[in-house]
Chain A
Amino acid sequence: MRRYAVFLVAVLAVLVLAPAVFAADGAVPETNWVAITSGFAMAIASAAGGYAQGKATAGACEAFARNPGAAASIRFGLILGLVLIESMALYTFAIVFMKVK
């Protein structure tokens, strides 16, 4: 397990340092850090949003199982909660869209 981790770190190091090869002909392409960071930011936002929506859905299903008569209110609260959580992940997408060239 540790050997694979060391191998992975070595591969990543080679990938990050690879553009230095271009130094021979004098043109070094600038790393687009904004794009890399945006990728990670969007992944984290979607993961957190997905986890939160899972918890909301689980709570709603359990509440419905305990009290099927309140189905309408539970469904209403579930939909509203899911929409608001979704919008949190989409704020990150808005930043990504505005800042990545």
Chain B
Amino acid sequence: MEEHTIWVTVLVNRLLGKPALALLTALHIQPANPEYPIPNHVSMELLVFLLSAIFFLWLKRRISVDRPGGTQQCMEAILTNPMNVGVRDLLEDNAGHAGARFVPMLGSIGIFVLFCNLISVVPTLESPTAVVSVPFGCAIVVFAYYNWCGLMHHGPLGYGKHFLGPVLPMAPIMLPVEIISNLARLLSLTVRLWVNMFVSELLYGLFLGLTLIVFLFAGKANALGYGLGIVPLFVPVVFILLHIFVAVLQAFVFTILPVIYVSGAVAEEH
């Protein structure tokens, strides 16, 4: 499928296209579209990063203990909230009181995935997480982070003992099973996020196309057809709502699974 370059990609390539092309040529990598070497998903990621950075820097100046505004309270709900689904709550439930030191990394990943998923609701933009390399990148970061946490906490030998299972005689069976299941975590994180985002965009586009055909067909009949033909065009709105729901849910799952992995890596066995 050929990729339609959106206006963000055009702008980013105007700014950073030449250095990017020079870097890719130096590494002997052929870009998919030499006119626009930075692809859609990379420029959308940069846009999400820029918007989040501006938003959070603006919010940081307005943080106040005595008079929190509405925005501060909304953002604090991501951290800790009455339903116990904030990042800090999840870490405390799973990793104990010392779990709060993982909040910066896991919270950042969660917020990045959330904004990447939701940005496709804006009309001319598309979701970077619908391209397989972006969720793969996020999953690699999570994989490296939880293994790093385990290594730092237990030391290499201590962390290796985790892979040998509960009892030493079972180690020859447990070791390959544990290694494969850890690699499978990488795969499942990637595919779950990518396919959910891709499919919900696909469903919306599909139903929009179908109802558009109905509208055009009804419009050819007579003027009343144009009037009544608008009604089927409201059907894809349900799919936009589904897309928003799936986006938030998948960002939540992409936060809680790394919480569980990190807690498992730094767990002390009794």
Contact = CB atoms under 8 A, between A and B. Distances in A.
A91 B249 contact: no
A23 to B, nearest CB: 35
Interface string B244-270: 000001100100100000000000000
A1 interface: no
B256 A91 contact: no
B256 A87 contact: no
Contact of B191 (A79, A83, A90): A90
Interface size class of B (residues with CB under 8 A): 10 to 19
Contact of B85 (A76, A83, A86, A91): A76
A72 B84 contact: yes
Interface stretch (B69-77, B192-200, B205-213, B217-225): B192-200
Interface in A68-101: 72, 76, 79-80, 83-84, 86-87, 90-91, 93-94, 97
A93 B196 CA distance: 10
Closest 4 CB pairs of A and B: A87-B192, A90-B195, A94-B195, A83-B253
Interface of B: 83-85, 188, 191-192, 194-196, 198-199, 249-250, 253, 256
Given A90-B195, A94-B194, 13 more contacts: A72-B83, A83-B249, A83-B253, A87-B191, A87-B192, A87-B195, A90-B191, A90-B192, A90-B196, A91-B191, A91-B192, A93-B195, A94-B195
